[in-house]
Amino acid sequence: MVRYPGSDRNAVNGVSFELLGGELVVLLGPSGCGKSTLLRTVNRLVPLDAGRVVVDGRDVTELDPVELRRSIGYVIQAVGLFAHMSVAQNIAVVPSLQGWKGSDVAQRVDELLTLVGLDPAAYRNRRPSQLSGGEAQRVGVARAIAARPRALLMDEPFGAVDVLARTALQRELVRIVRDLETTTLFVTHDVDEAFRLADRIVVMRAGRVEQVAPPLELFDQPATAYVRDTVHAGDDVYRRYFVHARELLRSGNE
């Protein structure tokens, strides 16, 4: 449970679910529903007032917050690339904090740029101000996974990116999560995005969980009226569209 100081209601309450290793779970809900707050309790950016968050079998409050955060990737909508550093320096932040050797870091930076679809030779020395929104978030993703975290937290990461770049980023993300088996918690208010990406979706509303289920199960067996309305359950046109969009994203060409 989380309640912000000065607020008369709980931002998050009565939430319980578990992520499996390598799973991509989407927190879906309108703005203000507590999904970002919930996400930020995982790496202790937001303290819990009651309840527990367990990562790899350990209660996060038992862990040093700085060490915990270094072991979990973090991507936000505003990207937050460090403006005074090059692309390579940005990506190298966590490996450097963990004391990697310089040559290992340099090699890892090039590897990651390639992984997120940017040419290392063309991009490693650029400044964040010289990147498009989509490119910046690719670097943001590379920075988050640089030190091979086992888990990844993403807070509306593609919300500010134009549609074409967003689709490309979604495809890369699904591939990266699958290939690296990075357990991922992904926040969005976009139903379409949730259906494309998720192994399972957690539908949230006013700080509570409405339903936790794989996308099509949400559609076929909505637990509440709210879920039914949110996913347009019962409308076969939407169902076919969602199935198609998922397949397209995973097919490698669009």
Q: By the criterion CB under 8 A, which residues form the site for another protein?
A: 43, 45, 66-71, 74, 76, 78-84, 93-94, 97, 127, 129, 140, 143-144, 153
| Residue 12 structure tokens | 């998050």
Minimum distance from CB of 153 to another protein (Å)?
7
From first CA to last CA, the distance across the chain in angstroms is 42
Angstrom distance (rounded) from CA 227 to CA 26: 14
Considering the complex, state which of residue 186 and residue 219 has its C-beta at the smaller distance from another protein.
Answer: 186
Considering the complex, state which of residue 50 and residue 66 has its C-beta at the smaller distance from another protein.
Answer: 66
CA distances from residue 132 to 104, 110, 122, 126, 166 in whole angstroms, order as listed = 28, 19, 14, 11, 12
Minimum distance from CB of 249 to another protein (Å)?
26
Considering the complex, state which of residue 40 and residue 228 has its C-beta at the smaller distance from another protein.
Answer: 40
Considering the complex, state which of residue 86 and residue 211 has its C-beta at the smaller distance from another protein.
Answer: 86
Minimum distance from CB of 98 to another protein (Å)?
9
Considering the complex, state which of residue 150 and residue 246 has its C-beta at the smaller distance from another protein.
Answer: 150
Minimum distance from CB of 127 to another protein (Å)?
6
Considering the complex, state which of residue 89 and residue 188 has its C-beta at the smaller distance from another protein.
Answer: 89
Minimum distance from CB of 125 to another protein (Å)?
11
Minimum distance from CB of 221 to another protein (Å)?
35
Burial of 204 (0-12, 13-18, 19+ CB in 10 A): buried
